[in-house]
Amino acid sequence: MKKLWGGRFKGNTDKVVESFTSSLSFDVRLWNYDIEGSMAHVKMLGKQKIIPRKDAALILRGLAEIREEIQAGTFKFRDSLEDVHMNIEHALIKKIGPAGGKLHTARSRNDQVALDLRLFLRDEISEVEKLLRKLQQALVSAAEKHVGTLMPGFTHLQKAQPVLLAHHLLAYFEMLERDCERFADCLKRVNVMPLGSAALAGTTLPIDRKFVAQLLKFPRISENSMDAVSDRDFVIEFISSSAVLMAHLSRFSEEMIIWSNDEFGFVELPDAFTTGSSIMPQKKNPDVLELTRGRTGRVYGHLMAILTVMKGLPLAYNRDMQEDKEPVFDTVDTVKSCLIVLSEMMPEIRFNEKVMARAAEGGFLTATDLAEYLVRKGMPFRDAHRVTGEIVRYCIDGNKRMSDLNLKEFRQFSKLIGGDIFSYISAGSSVSGKKSYGGTSPRMVQARIRQIKKRGKRFRAEG
């Protein structure tokens, strides 16, 4: 087939080269954005009288028809036409004749593809944000049910201090909150209109870039044509924000996997979100969580790929940049599917409150509370730490829990200890005592939940 750029060529492109260079198999996904961008471009060309208004109208009608054909599945994409842009333009010329050849005036595929990708990511970011909010909501709902559920908090994966399950769940809410902020910030750089940069230098024709930006609802246009066609920072930022988000989803998954393990028994995973083993009849495997954890690796890989593709490129456009699309598409798909499956799974996870509470007692989880008790009685913290350590040692040697000791035994270690000590060393009182801002006391946790819900209401009201 004769190429749209075939003028200066005598021979045909080698078949192997055609398939080697073609991006159609993946960039076909951009078709709708490509048409949307072309429509805005052609309206501008008409308004500026760069092409006759009647040609602009003809092109618009042709593009609308192509859109319908693609939607209906009757459009024939041809791999030999390299990419989605060429396919649509070629079909337009075939459909409306030579006037179709005016669409590409004052434009190059270099600014065109940058525009398409920005339009695509702008939509996807708003999808990802919606899904993030949904998962956050699921976490808050679970937290609300568990403001009374005690569990051991861990450091080094060793039991450390009692905490509320609600507090633990809300830690993930905060991570996702930062993810939302990162995507919103990334959107500022995505939301810049590159069209009109042409191949790299701009154009001699009297285009109106601001008009195109208005039509496509971009708040800003790019400032430097060379930068505009060679910039993929916005792709890097999107994948990087996605990588951080995946790290959060992976940590959550890992935690649920551990908690569902028999040794922990903290949670029961829903049947609908687990799978069986083909050989061991008793097994119930947390595959959804494992795949979320595993797919984090893909997104990290995509980040490394796009950073590497970009690192050695001289200005301006280079074909290497076609390699941006598969990583970004797969990142979008991976992130969205993980968010969907986790937010559907979240409400179905059953927390074994009794097992968690039992695990929060014993194990000297309130030793720090004892030390802080001594501090309140005037003892320097370092001494309080040592005295408490001695009490723990005494308990271990006598095979006792701290709450088994009587007042006389406590006072062997410090005369500062009084009868009130017993109301400080239970898991429940330990948690209630953590009233410092951001701490795990029910008061603090409830206040944070109220704040989050109030804000949620405001968001919904503002639409």
Count, residues in the chain: 463
b/e 314-324 (16+ beta carbons within 10 angstroms → b): eebbbeebbbb
Specify whether the CB–CB gap between 125 and 190 falls below 8 A: yes
What residues are paired with 164 via a beta bridge? 150
- Judged by CB under 6 A, the residue of 67, 90, 104, 109 near ligand ARG is 109
Specify whether the CB–CB gap between 81 and 87 falls below 8 A: yes
Q: Tell me how far CA of residue 442 lies from CA of 153, 162, 453, in angstroms.
A: 15, 12, 16
**How many CA atoms, within 13 angstroms, populate the side-chain half-sphere of residue 328?**
27
Q: Taking the complex as a whole, how short is the minimal distance between the CB of residue 296 and ligand ARG, in angstroms?
A: 27
Site for ligand ARG in 49-88 (CB under 6 A): 83
By rule CB under 6 A, what string of x and - marks binding of each residue 155-194 to ligand ARG?
A: ----------------------------------------
Q: Taking the complex as a whole, how short is the minimal distance between the CB of residue 6 and ligand ARG, in angstroms?
A: 13
What residues are paired with 154 via a beta bridge? 159
Pairing of strands 158-164, 192-193: unpaired
Q: Taking the complex as a whole, how short is the minimal distance between the CB of residue 81 and ligand ARG, in angstroms?
A: 11
Q: For the chain, how are helix, strand and coil distributed in percent, rounded to 5? A: 70, 5, 25
Question: Is residue 167 among the annotated active site residues?
Answer: no
- Judged by CB under 6 A, the residue of 31, 252, 317, 410 near ligand ARG is 317
Comparing CB distances to ligand ARG, the nearer of 113 and 306 is 113
Q: Taking the complex as a whole, how short is the minimal distance between the CB of residue 193 and ligand ARG, in angstroms?
A: 17
Q: Taking the complex as a whole, how short is the minimal distance between the CB of residue 23 and ligand ARG, in angstroms?
A: 4
Q: Does 23 bind ligand ARG (CB under 6 A)?
A: yes
Q: Does 322 bind ligand ARG (CB under 6 A)?
A: yes
DSSP single-letter state for residue 159: E
Distance CA 160, CA 176 (A): 25
Site for ligand ARG in 111-150 (CB under 6 A): 113
Comparing CB distances to ligand ARG, the nearer of 266 and 317 is 317
For 163, the 3-state DSSP assignment is: strand
Site for ligand ARG in 25-44 (CB under 6 A): 27
Which residue type does 194 have?
A: P
Q: Tell me how far CA of residue 146 lies from CA of 151, 215, 340, 418, 433, in angstroms.
A: 10, 49, 23, 33, 17
- Of 108-116, 163-171, 305-313, 379-387, the window that binds ligand ARG (rule: CB under 6 A) is 108-116
Question: Is residue 432 among the annotated active site residues?
Answer: no
Distance CA 81, CA 91 (A): 10
- Judged by CB under 6 A, the residue of 56, 321, 402, 425 near ligand ARG is 321
Number of residues that bind ligand ARG (CB under 6 A): 10
Tokens 């695509």 locate to 120
Distance CA 276, CA 279 (A): 9
- Of 58-66, 294-302, 318-326, 361-369, the window that binds ligand ARG (rule: CB under 6 A) is 318-326
Residue 340 has φ and ψ, to the nearest 5°, of -65, -50
Q: Taking the complex as a whole, how short is the minimal distance between the CB of residue 321 and ligand ARG, in angstroms?
A: 5
Tokens 């009182």 locate to 429
Comparing CB distances to ligand ARG, the nearer of 110 and 352 is 110
Q: Does 260 bind ligand ARG (CB under 6 A)?
A: no
Comparing CB distances to ligand ARG, the nearer of 113 and 138 is 113
Q: Which of 134, 162, 92 is nearest to 424 (CA)?
A: 162
Comparing CB distances to ligand ARG, the nearer of 156 and 319 is 319
Q: Taking the complex as a whole, how short is the minimal distance between the CB of residue 25 and ligand ARG, in angstroms?
A: 11
Comparing CB distances to ligand ARG, the nearer of 27 and 237 is 27
Give the CA dihedral 434, 440, 443, 445, nearest 10 degrees: 160
Q: Taking the complex as a whole, how short is the minimal distance between the CB of residue 87 and ligand ARG, in angstroms?
A: 11
Distance CA 146, CA 420 (A): 28
Comparing CB distances to ligand ARG, the nearer of 222 and 296 is 222
By rule CB under 6 A, what string of x and - marks binding of each residue 288-307 to ligand ARG?
A: --------------------
- Of 248-256, 316-324, 405-413, 444-452, the window that binds ligand ARG (rule: CB under 6 A) is 316-324
114: number of Cβ within 10 Å:
28
Distance CA 439, CA 203 (A): 59
**How many CA atoms, within 13 angstroms, populate the side-chain half-sphere of residue 78?**
11
Q: Which of 271, 272, 323 is nearest to 113 (CA)?
A: 323
- List 25, 126, 277, 423, catalytic entry: 277
Comparing CB distances to ligand ARG, the nearer of 111 and 369 is 111
Comparing CB distances to ligand ARG, the nearer of 27 and 369 is 27
Q: Taking the complex as a whole, how short is the minimal distance between the CB of residue 116 and ligand ARG, in angstroms?
A: 9
Residues making contact with ligand ARG (CB under 6 A):
23, 27, 83, 109-110, 113, 317, 319, 321-322
Active-site residues: which are they? 156, 277
